[in-house]
Chain A
Amino acid sequence: MQSLSFFSLIPFLTLLVSFVVASTAPAADYHEQLNLKPLPQNSLLASFNFRSNTSLPEFEAHNFRFFPRSLGQILQHAGTRELHLRFSLGRWDAETWGARPWDGTKEGGTGVELWAWLEAESDGEADHKWLTLTNALSGLFCASLNFIDSTRTIRPVMSFRPEGDHPNTTMANMHLLHGVLPREVVCTENLTPFLKLLPCKGKAGVSSLLDGHKLFDASWQSMAIDVKPVCQAGEECVLQIEQTIDMVLDIERSKRPRANTLQTTSSLAHPPSHELKCNTTKPYHADDTCFPTDSLNAQEWTLNQIFGKPMLGNCPLTDPKTPPVCIQAPHSRDVFTSMGVEELKEPGNENQRCYLLPSNDEEFHLALPFMPRDGDRPKTDADEFVQPATPLLYAERSLTGHGQEHGGVQAILTNPSPDAEVEFVYMESLPWFMRIYLHTLKARISHRTGSDAGQTLRDDDDVVKEIYYRPFLDRQRGTQLEIRMKIPPGSTVFMAYDFEKTILRYTEYPPDANRGFDVAAAVITILPSNSTSTAGAAAAAGGKTARMSNLRTTGMLLNLPTPDFSMPYNVIIFTSTCIALAFGGLYNILVRRFVGRDEGPEVSLVKLRKRLQEGVQKFKERVQERLGAVGKGAKKVDGKSD
Chain B
Amino acid sequence: MSADIQNDGDSKPTCAEATVSLPATGIATVEGKEPPPEKEADTRRRSWIVLSFWLIAVFIGLPIWWNTTTIYRANLPLGQMTDWADGKACEPVFPLRIALDVGALPEQEAQNLLRLTQHALDDLNDFSGHHLRLQLAQAPTEATAPVRDDSNVALTIRLAPGDAAHTASSSLHPHLPILDVQYPPNSLPTANSPSSGLATYIATQLGATFAEEQNIISYLLESSSITSEHRPKGISQEVVDTVSKRMTRSLKYSQTYHLTFSLFTNGPVPSSWDIEAAIDQYMKPVLDMLRPIHNFTIDTQVQLYASPGVQSLVLGKEDLSSFVNAAEWPLSPSIGGAPTVNFIVYTGNHTIGVPSEASPGETSQSWMIPQWGSVYLLAPPAEATHVSSETLKQPILTFTSHLLTLLGTPQSGSLPMRLSTLARIRSADLLLRASSSLGSLARLTLALPSISIPSNVADGVVKTIHHLELACASLGGAKSLEHARIAEAEAERAFFEKSMVGQLYFPDEHKVAVYLPLLGPIGVPLVMGLLNEIKAWKNRRSQKLKAA
A, B in one complex: yes
Q: Which residues of A does B touch, CB under 8 Å?
A: 15, 17-18, 20-21, 24-25, 61-66, 68-70, 72-74, 77, 136, 139-140, 196-197, 199-201, 203-204, 315-317, 569, 572-573, 576-577, 579-581, 583-584, 587-588, 590-591, 593, 595-603, 605-606, 610, 613-614, 617
- Tell me, in angstroms, the Cα distance from A64 to B355 when the chains sit together: 32
A610 and B335 form a contact (CB under 8 A): no
A588 to B328 CA separation, bound complex (whole angstroms): 77
**Within the complex, what minimum Cβ distance (angstroms) separates A588 from chain B?**
7
Q: Given A20-B385, A204-B305, A613-B16, A576–B300 Cβ distance below 8 Å?
A: no
Question: With contacts A204-B268, A614-B26 known, is A64 near B302, CB below 8 A?
Answer: yes
Query: Given that A583-B522, A593-B42, A610-B12 are known contacts, is A199 also in contact with B272, CB under 8 Å in the complex?
Result: no
List the A residue with the shortest CB-CB distance to B523. Answer: A580
Shortest Cβ distance from B47 into A: residue: A591
Interface residues of B in 470-497 (CB under 8 A from A): none
Question: How many interface residues does B have (CB within 8 Å)?
Answer: 63
Partner among B304, B330, B336, B522 whose Cβ is within 8 Å of the Cβ of A69: B330
Judged by a CB distance under 8 angstroms, whether B89 is at the interface is: no
Give 19 new A-B contacts, CB below 8 A, not counting A62-B297, A69-B262, A596-B35.
Answer: A15-B267, A62-B300, A65-B272, A69-B300, A74-B335, A200-B305, A201-B303, A201-B306, A203-B305, A572-B518, A576-B518, A583-B521, A591-B525, A593-B46, A597-B1, A599-B35, A610-B12, A613-B16, A614-B19
B69 CB, min distance to chain A CBs, angstroms: 14
Residues of A within 8 A of B38 (CB): 593
Most chain A CB inside 10 Å of its own CB: which residue of B42, B268, B529: B268
Are A577 and B521 within 8 A (Cβ)?
yes
8 Å CB contact of B521 from A20, A24, A576 = A576
Q: Are B386 and A24 in contact (CB under 8 A)?
A: yes
Distance (whole angstroms) from the CB of B64 to the closest CB of chain A: 14
* Cβ B268 vs Cβ A315 within 8 A: yes
How far, in whole Å, are A61 and B261 apart by their CA atoms in the complex? 13
Establish whether residues A595 and B35, one from each chain, have CB atoms under 8 Å apart when the complex forms.
yes
- Specify which chain B residues have a CB less than 8 angstroms from the CB of A583 in the assembled complex: 521-522, 525
Residue of B nearest to A30 (CB): B271
Q: Does B8 contact A (CB under 8 A)?
A: yes
Give A577 to B518 CA distance when docked, in angstroms.
Answer: 7
Q: How many A-B residue pairs have CB under 8 A?
A: 158
Query: Is the beta-carbon distance between A201 and B305 smaller than 8 angstroms?
Result: yes
With contact pairs A64-B301, A593-B46 given, residues A580 and B517 touching in the complex (Cβ less than 8 Å): yes
- Nearest chain-A residue to B33 (Cβ)? A599
A196 touches B330 (CB 8 A): yes
**CB-CB under 8 A for A69 and B305, given A20-B385, A21-B385, A77-B335:** no
CB pair A599–B34 under 8 Å, yes or no, is yes
Interface residues of B in 506-548 (CB under 8 A from A): 513-514, 517-518, 520-522, 525-526, 529, 532
Query: Does B385 contact A584, Cβ atoms closer than 8 Å?
Result: no
- The interface residues of chain B lying within 8 Å CB-to-CB of A24 are 271-272, 385-386
| C-alpha gap A594/B26 in the complex (Å) | 27
Chain B residues within an 8 Å CB radius of A136: 335
Interchain CB contact under 8 A, B336 and A77: yes
Chain B residues in 8 Å Cβ range of A600: 32, 35
Jot down 19 A-B pairs with beta carbons below 8 A, ordered by A.
Answer: A20-B385, A21-B268, A21-B271, A74-B335, A136-B335, A200-B304, A315-B268, A572-B518, A577-B521, A580-B518, A580-B521, A583-B525, A590-B46, A591-B49, A591-B529, A593-B46, A599-B36, A602-B30, A610-B12
A581 to B522, CA, bound (A): 9
Chain B residues contacting A64 (CB-CB under 8 Å) are 299-302
B271 and A598 form a contact (CB under 8 A) = no
Question: Given the complex of chains A and B, what is the CA–CA distance between A601 and B30 in angstroms?
Answer: 9
Identify which of residues 258-315 in chain B touch chain A, using a CB-to-CB cut-off of 8 Å: 260, 262, 267-269, 271-272, 275-276, 297-306
The 10 A-B pairs with the shortest beta carbon distances in the complex, nearest first, are A580-B521, A62-B299, A576-B517, A69-B301, A599-B35, A576-B518, A316-B268, A595-B35, A203-B305, A64-B301
Q: Which residues of B contact A598 (CB under 8 A)?
A: 4, 32-33
Contact B5 A201 (CB under 8 A): no
Contact of A573 among B26, B517, B526 (CB under 8 A): B517
* B517 engages A577 (CB within 8 Å): yes
Give complex CA distance A596, B36 in Å. 10
A466 to B335, CA, bound (A): 42
B96 within 8 A of A: no
Q: Is B525 in contact with A588, judged by CB distance below 8 angstroms?
A: yes
Q: Is B60 an interface residue (CB 8 A)?
A: no
- Give complex CA distance A597, B272 in Å: 108
Chain A residues with CB under 8 A of B19: 614, 617
User: In the complex, what's the smallest C-beta–C-beta distance from A71 to chain B, in angstroms?
Assistant: 9
Q: In the complex, A289 Cα to B285 Cα: how many Å?
A: 84
Give bound CA distance, A435 to B529, whole Å: 52
Contacts of B1-15 to chain A: CB distance below 8 A = 1, 4-5, 8-9, 12, 15
B4→A603 contact, CB < 8 A: yes
Flag if A591 contacts B50 (CB, 8 Å): yes
The CA of A62 and the CA of B276, in the complex, are separated in Å by 10
Q: Is the CB of B520 within 8 A of A580?
A: yes
- What is the CA–CA distance of A521 and B42 in the complex, to the nearest angstrom? 73
List chain A residues, Cβ under 8 A from B305. Answer: 200-201, 203-204
Q: Is the CB of A587 within 8 A of B529?
A: yes
- Give A199 to B272 CA distance when docked, in angstroms: 12
Q: Which of A63, A569, A590 contacts B299 (CB 8 A)?
A: A63
**B522 to A579, Cβ gap below 8 A?**
yes
